[in-house]
């Protein structure tokens, strides 16, 4: 018998009517002959309601207790769905992270899954029940509740798919798949039928919000096919799978932009061995993710070092860098919070030369200044001023024919 | 070092301001030199909000999943209190039932505690933390979440007091103690300083709402002193303890009435061996608690059997009894939902004769008809029509001098 994981996000379980709808969909999937495991997020708005109570009490709530608090959101969802399935004549059991040994490390608020115990889930499936699992949550080695960070329910679903060797992990969401670009920016964006893990990983890392990055990594490592589809109809969506021969002909799979980007420049840094480590080690220790790094050619023994970080980390970065500029004897620090990173992603870049050159040409012709460039085998990212980012996406989307031919 | 359990009900943690207040009280108790374990109910209104969502989905929600749902209420409270204690500069850890092995049987919605594992609580106290425990919830032998029924947090608190051999179990509530009668009925009712477990057990069973019956049983069995006091000031309240010599001089400790009472009469039941068992066995199997039973003298081989049940059980009792009346060949069934049970409770009745006679005289003089009587060593209950119940309480409260002399 086949076994499928079905993940529904907060919007898809945001009202009792939608929970009833998910109950019906889950029963239909079961009646079609599959074992069904459903993973849920909290009802839309619930996590924010809980967070705002904690933040009314204090600006910096205790991290362990925050996870105890916000994990109740998923617990409410799974209980209500199990009740709705019973009310519709089916059988269901809900499970929390501690009940299915959803083990993580102990980093509250951004924990990583280390193992899953499938015993109770298998027993429940053998009793012909629909298994309903709380997404987003885990337990550490001491039994403390942890959470996986925003979008963590995607990772819960993929981890369960891997542990249960499921046939597929279906991500039911409020969009009907993965698009060649944000349709809000490119009205002619098209749904992608199939995309490779590597490409999806880049798209997710570079600003596409449809799947949490870690869930894609997990799926790639365990070869779990992901199907991103609409929670509100039965149309097929987008499959994320291993790279296939047919995918190679496409040079560019999609264009994305990330406006949660800020640029920082340290001016006239002494060009000596070890200096760069002195700059970036304290950021790494603080958990700040440094993205594009650019170092100018040395001039009179000094160099400018420019890098980007998430805009939401900018205050923290400045607090760490300010004392450091004195220690290093640099001329100081400038920052620009109003930049964006526009990226082209496509596994076909490996075998097709000239994509980068064509991209730079398109942006240059439109008078868009590229401040920084970062490339990998399958992606090209350009940092531009935020005001230019939407136009840049549209130009690139059009130049590589994404709106015309199916991705 | 002393160790005290502090239980706060839903009203006492009903707003963020009140949670801050409980954090301050808990820290003061700790600073006064005691180890502190706090047990919380859900914020006022939260349990009803959760129940109404489930009942919007179906009239009879699955029992296991209801417990998963409603137990989130206490989880939110304990996380917020722990956050508030940290915000005030203290240290705290919250614990759910599964984390402290709060084992129960598997009767969802009305489970009974069987054991508690104090390991993690001890460790937390040794780290100088305030321990914050979710009331009302447990886990069965298979790790399923259970709940203890309305008022169950009292029992959680007493069970922890017993397991940790605490010096006292303080029940902080929205009244400032246990009264000789409901002050809403008797304006001159007085707070009782000390009351025995047996007396409190009778008062709780007979309608006093301040402590869950099971919590008093548990305290009596494990000799846990309970202190019922106001959550909003530091005045002493009422102590529930073992019977002491000084208590004996009081004939009547308090008067209470229970209007959640209905009376049922089976007319002309054949007066044969085994018939009474045939009547009451199916009720016991359905979990219906039958209270006062009265059987008239046999007349021509038949007898009338009258008994009382909780008014909320009346529909269920009629559904069970109706087919039975035919099987037994009785003349049928009459019921009166508008009765009340008025009770006098006092350990002193053991050594003082004439309490019952005086009570009947007082009610008789006022023209109040006593429909049924039930007595034990330390209580006298009279079933009267509901309209007479408040007057009966006032008359008895006054006749036994409860408003004048301290109880």
Tell whether B82 is within 8 A of chain A (Cβ): yes
Contacts B94 to A, Cβ<8 Å: 65, 68
Angstrom distance (rounded) from CA B137 to CA B179: 29
Tell whether A131 is within 8 A of chain B (Cβ): no
Contacts A52 to B, Cβ<8 Å: none
CB contact set of B234 (below 8 Å; sequence gap of 6+):
none
- From the centroid of its chain, how far is CA A399? 27
**Which residue in B72, B86, B145 is closest to A62 by CB distance?**
B86
Q: What is the pLDDT of residue B406?
A: 43
Tell whether A98 is within 8 A of chain B (Cβ): yes
Give which of B80, B97, B101, B133 to mutate to test A binding, by max A Cβ within 10 Å: B80
Contacts B16 to A, Cβ<8 Å: 53, 56-57
Rg of chain B on CA atoms, in Å: 23
Contact at CB, B69 and A50, closer than 8 angstroms: no
Using 70 as the pLDDT threshold, list the residues of chain B that sit under it. Answer: 247-249, 404-407
The pLDDT tens digits for B379-396 are: 999 999 999 999 999 999
Tell whether B58 is within 8 A of chain A (Cβ): yes
Angstrom distance (rounded) from CA A59 to CA A57: 7
Contact at CB, B82 and A65, closer than 8 angstroms: yes
- Phi first, then psi: give them for residue B282, nearest 5 degrees: -65, -30
Separation in Å, CA A342 to CA A252, A360, A373: 13, 12, 10
Contact at CB, B65 and A75, closer than 8 angstroms: no
Within 325-364 of A, beta carbons closer than 8 Å to B belong to: none
Cβ pair A259, A209 in contact under 8 A: no
**Which residue in B56, B75, B84 is closest to A57 by CB distance?**
B84
Angstrom distance (rounded) from CA A242 to CA A197: 6
**Which residue in B19, B62, B143 is closest to A86 by CB distance?**
B62
DSSP state of B350: G
Contacts A84 to B, Cβ<8 Å: 57-58
Contact at CB, A79 and B68, closer than 8 angstroms: yes
Separation in Å, CA A280 to CA A272, A376, B322: 14, 21, 81
What is the secondary structure of A369-382 as a DSSP string? PP-EEEEETTEEEE
Q: List the pLDDT tens digit at each of the 407 positions of chain A.
A: 899 999 999 999 999 999 999 999 999 999 999 999 999 999 999 999 999 999 999 999 999 999 999 999 999 999 999 999 999 999 999 999 999 999 999 999 999 999 999 999 999 999 999 999 999 999 999 999 999 998 899 999 999 999 999 999 999 998 899 999 999 999 999 999 999 999 999 998 887 788 988 999 999 999 999 999 999 999 999 999 998 877 666 789 999 999 999 999 988 888 887 888 888 998 988 888 888 888 877 778 888 889 999 998 898 899 899 888 888 888 888 999 999 999 999 988 888 878 999 999 999 999 999 999 988 889 999 999 999 999 999 999 999 999 864 43
Contacts B20 to A, Cβ<8 Å: 57
What region does A287 belong to: left with phi over 0, alpha with psi -120 to 50, or beta? left
Contacts B65 to A, Cβ<8 Å: 79-80, 82-83, 86, 92, 94
Residue A41 in tokens: 């997020």
Within 141-170 of A, beta carbons closer than 8 Å to B belong to: 143, 145
Q: Which domains does chain A have, with CATH numbers?
A: 2-174 (3.40.1160.10), 255-399 (3.30.2130.10)
Give which of B46, B59, B69 to mutate to test A binding, by max A Cβ within 10 Å: B69
Buried b (16+ CB within 10 A) or exposed e, B157-193: bbbbbbbbebbbbbbbbebbbbbbbbeebbeebbbbe
Regarding beta strands B145-147 and B226-230, do their DSSP bridges make them parallel or antiparallel, or are they unpaired?
unpaired
Tell whether B51 is within 8 A of chain A (Cβ): no
Among chain A residues, the shortest Cα distance to B133 is held by A68
Give which of B38, B79, B106 to mutate to test A binding, by max A Cβ within 10 Å: B79
Contact at CB, A68 and B75, closer than 8 angstroms: yes
Q: What is the pLDDT of residue A165?
A: 96
**Which residue in A71, A72, A87 is closest to B57 by CB distance?**
A87
């Amino acid at each position: 018998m086949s076994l499928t994981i079905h993940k529904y996000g907060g919007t898809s379980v945001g009202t009792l009517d939608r929970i009833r709808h998910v109950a019906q969909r889950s029963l239909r999937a079961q009646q079609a002959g599959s074992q069904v495991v459903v993973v849920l997020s909290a009802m839309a708005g619930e996590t924010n309601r809980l967070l705002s109570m904690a933040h009314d009490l204090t600006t910096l709530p205790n991290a362990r207790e925050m996870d105890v608090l916000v994990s109740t959101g998923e617990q409410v969802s799974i209980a209500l769905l199990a009740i709705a399935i019973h009310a519709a004549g089916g059988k269901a059991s809900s499970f929390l992270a501690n009940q299915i040994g959803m083990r993580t490390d102990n980093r509250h608020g951004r924990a990583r899954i280390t193992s899953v115990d499938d015993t109770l889930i298998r027993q429940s499936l053998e009793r012909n029940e629909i298994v309903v699992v709380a997404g987003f949550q885990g337990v550490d080695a001491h039994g403390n509740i942890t959470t996986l960070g925003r979008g963590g329910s995607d990772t819960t679903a993929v981890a369960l798919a891997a542990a249960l060797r499921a046939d597929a992990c279906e991500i039911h969401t409020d969009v009907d798949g993965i698009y060649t670009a944000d349709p809000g920016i490119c009205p002619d964006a098209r749904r992608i039928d199939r995309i490779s893990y590597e490409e999806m990983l880049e798209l997710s890392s570079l600003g596409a919000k449809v799947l949490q990055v870690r869930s894609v990594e997990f799926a790639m490592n365990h070869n779990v096919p992901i199907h991103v589809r609409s929670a509100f109809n039965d149309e097929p969506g987008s499959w994320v799978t291993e790279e296939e021969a047919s995918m190679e002909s496409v040079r560019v799979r999609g264009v994305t932009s990330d406006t949660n980007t800020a640029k920082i420049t340290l001016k006239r840094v002494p060009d000596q061995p070890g200096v760069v480590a002195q700059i970036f080690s304290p950021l790494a220790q603080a958990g700040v993710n440094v993205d594009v790094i650019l170092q100018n050619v040395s001039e009179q023994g000094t160099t400018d070092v420019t890098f980007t970080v998430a805009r939401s980390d900018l205050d923290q970065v400045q607090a760490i860098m300010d004392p450091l500029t004195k220690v290093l004897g640099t001329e100081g620090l400038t920052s620009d919070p109003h930049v964006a990173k526009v990226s082209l992603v496509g596994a076909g870049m490996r075998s097709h030369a000239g994509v980068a050159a064509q991209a730079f040409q398109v942006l240059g012709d439109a008078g868009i200044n590229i401040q920084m460039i970062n490339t990998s085998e399958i992606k090209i990212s350009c940092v531009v001023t935020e005001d230019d980012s939407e136009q840049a996406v549209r130009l690139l989307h059009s130049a590589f024919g994404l709106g015309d031919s199916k991705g």
